[in-house]
Amino acid sequence: MKAEKVTAPVAWHGEGPFWDRAAQRLLIMDMLAGTIVDLTSFDDPRRIEVGSAVSAVVRARSRGGYIVATEHGFSLFDADFVLERRLADAVSDPAIRLNEGGCDPLRRFFCGSMAYDETPGAASLYRVEADGSISTVLTDLTISNGLQWSLDGAVAYYIDTATRRVDVFDVDTGDGTLHDRRPWIGFGDDVDGSPDGMTIDAEGGLWVAFWGGGAVRRYDTGGALSQVVEVPGVTHTSAAAFGGPDLDTLYITSSRQHLPDHAEPDAGSVFAVVPGVRGTALPEYAG
């Protein structure tokens, strides 16, 4: 399959697509610009300035607003993206920023980090509880990226891009703790690019965006490759999310980070494909 471009370049480093079910709109991150791009209208995007690098946003269910991962910490915004409260920073080192996030079945917000220079082992994975308290879940990571939970919540899938694989954890369904990390899918030299953002569909299939590969690849619940979506004209496909009223459209973000100035004029655009399988409603933050 091939995805089609649905926006002009709307981000320099597009990341973190999020289908906002309550508002029926797509939000993406222009990460290093510190901007959330509201794509209620693909032809007339609204840019929401956050004030620092921004990596992820999800709905805060009980508040009617959002939790946003900024450069070093987390903030709560109302439904119009007016800042309500800044939580404590998770990261104190200015050379490190937050990178990719999402919620577990217990509706806690997880977000990983990476060093700006991609120093091996410098990154961590953090968890934000409903009361706003923050704890460290994993350390000794390099580029913390995709994180999803299986449909039954018993398994978590995780990507540290530098490992070139998807790992799995067993999940304690009582308290949500992660145990017994192990490799699940490894990507050899026959796969172009490195695994980046990831989402899950209603059949439990994982859709992995490949940075440097210009594609999103689907892996079934047994770990077998089942579909490939080519993203024409761009190399850095960064993340994917299902959206639309029926969750039947896969939206794909792209980036022009590390590209020469005049290369790939479509980089930073959003692409879309209807892949024949629907997404699933992902958990929202409990705070």
Cα 18 to Cα 33: distance, rounded to the nearest angstrom? 17
Q: Which residues contact 16 (CB under 8 A, 6 or more apart)?
A: 28, 29, 31, 54, 55, 56, 57, 100, 101, 197, 239, 253
Strand partners, 38: 27, 46
Question: Which tokens hold the place of 61?
Answer: 């269910």
Active-site choice (160, 196, 201, 246): 196
Indicate if 196 belongs to the active site: yes
Contact 157, 149 (CB under 8 A): yes
Neighbours of 85 (CB within 10 A): 14
**Segment (H or E) for 83:** strand 83-86
Q: Which residues are catalytic?
A: 196
